[in-house]
Amino acid sequence: MSITVPDSDFHDFDQDRSEECFKPKQIWALYDEEDGMPRLYCLIREVISVNPFKIYISYLSSKSDCEFGSVNWLDSGFTKSCGSFRVFHSETVEQVNIFSHLLTREKAGRGGCVRIYPRSGDIWAVYRNWSPDWNRTTPDEVRHRYEMVEVLDDYSEENGVWVTPLIKLEGYKTVYQRNANTNAIRWIPRREMLRFSHQVPSCSLEGTNLPEGCWDLDPAATPDELLQVETELPNNMTPGRTEKTTESAQDEQHSAEPKRESEEKFSHSEIFDSTPAKPKVESVGTTTAVELFQGREKDPMELPQSEYIIKAAAELPQD
């Protein structure tokens, strides 16, 4: 299945996935067939030929989502995009446009095990309406609603991960800006890590005439609903088009069937005393410093109202 996508506003993401970019032992993300987002992964085994393009890869798959507690994500037909994966079956591929981006910080361990989690500085799309109760009857219009977030610290099993929503810059298709309101920072605990849909390749726009904290996001990994431009592009910019090809999810990592379920909004949270320390984000030059509040308990009143439901501490799985 081929999907046509517009060009990004600034960065040429296609150059980051050209034939010359592939090397043995790399981990790459691939587009899935559900809605064409990069939720699949593979290990590059051998580059047979660059021109014509031909490489030998091993798909990464997972038969369990137990690392996130008692959820039935895979059993319900969904694709897991973070967690632990192992080498599955291998094959030779000759299409370069099935690949989204290189995972530069992930390596295959012993036995072909690969751990993929959100890391500090990453941009990810999260499911806006995510619920642990999603199943095969959940309608697509509920599932396929997203929000872009910046990851503020590396994931840990103990603390989960902190993120802050990105705000789309008016007049652009693919430019997003860091939310300057620190009260917008959200905590996603371990048992809600399946809220992450997929990583979105990004390019920092620091040093341009745009506001501080802006990124150009890869339109091939951006859901269609988030690519709409509310106002005309400056200088009468004309959007271009490119194509990507999706891959079937492998084995248990397969596309979900049509869904049916009432839409559930996540507009409130239950904050409890075991909430980990909230990152304090400060702008330092062209970088972002994340400092944790250490040495004291956080008063629940200091925590923001969240759009994410945070379960009671008693419901968290006991290790």
Tally the residues of the chain.
319
Higher model confidence: residue 211 or residue 108? Answer: 211
Alpha-carbon distance of 42 to 57, in angstroms, equals: 6
Q: Higher model confidence: residue 183 or residue 291?
A: 183
Q: Flag whether 318 is in a domain.
A: no
In a domain, 71, yes or no: yes
Q: pTM to 2 decimals?
A: 0.73
What DSSP state is assigned to residue 257?
P
Mean predicted confidence (pLDDT) in 117-137:
90
Per-residue tokens: 281: 């984000």
What's the rounded Cα separation, in Å, for the pair 139 and 220? 23
Q: How confident is the model at residue 302 (pLDDT cuts 50, 70, 90)?
A: very low
d(CA 243, CA 306): 37
d(C-alpha 262, C-alpha 271), whole Å: 25
Q: What is the pLDDT of residues 200-212, one digit of tens each?
A: 999 999 988 999 8
Structural domain includes residue 247:
yes
CA triple 319-118-143, angle to 5 deg: 90
Give dist(CA 4, CA 8) in Å, integer: 13
Q: Could you tell me the residue range of the domain that residue 209 belongs to?
A: 2-313
Residue 74, pLDDT above cutoff 60: yes
275 assigned to some structural domain: yes
Residue 263 lies inside a defined structural domain of this protein: yes
Kindly list the strands in the beta sheet with 113-116, ordered across the sheet, starting from the edge strand earlier in the chain: 99-103, 27-30, 40-49, 54-61, 83-93, 113-116
Q: Using pLDDT thresholds of 50, 70 and 90, give the confidence band for residue 281.
A: low
Beta strands 83-93 and 113-116 are antiparallel
Q: What pLDDT does 72 receive?
A: 67
CA–CA–CA angle 193, 3, 238 (5° rounding): 105
From 257, 177, 259, select the one nearest 213 (Cα to Cα): 177
Helix (H, G, I), strand (E, B) or coil at 234: helix
Is residue 91 assigned to a domain? Answer: yes
The most distant pair of C-alpha atoms in the chain lies apart, rounded to whole Å, by 60
Tell whether 64 is covered by a domain. yes
Q: How many structural domains compose the chain?
A: 1
Q: Does 319 fall in a domain?
A: no
Look-up of token digits 């079937």: 248
Q: What is the DSSP string of 87-127?
A: EEEEEEE--GGGEEEEETT----GGGEEEE---TT-EEEEE
Average pLDDT over residues 240-258: 49
Return d(Cα 119, Cα 82) in angstroms, integer.
11
Dig out the tokens for 206 from the structure: 């620091």
- The rounded distance, in Å, linking the Cα atoms of 83 and 112 is 14
Q: Indicate the average pLDDT of the chain.
A: 76
**What is the C-alpha to C-alpha distance for residues 13 and 244, in angstroms, rounded to an integer?**
12
Query: Which of these, 182, 178, 185, lies nearest to 161 by C-alpha position?
Result: 185
Closest to 297 (Cα-Cα) out of 317, 274, 319: 274
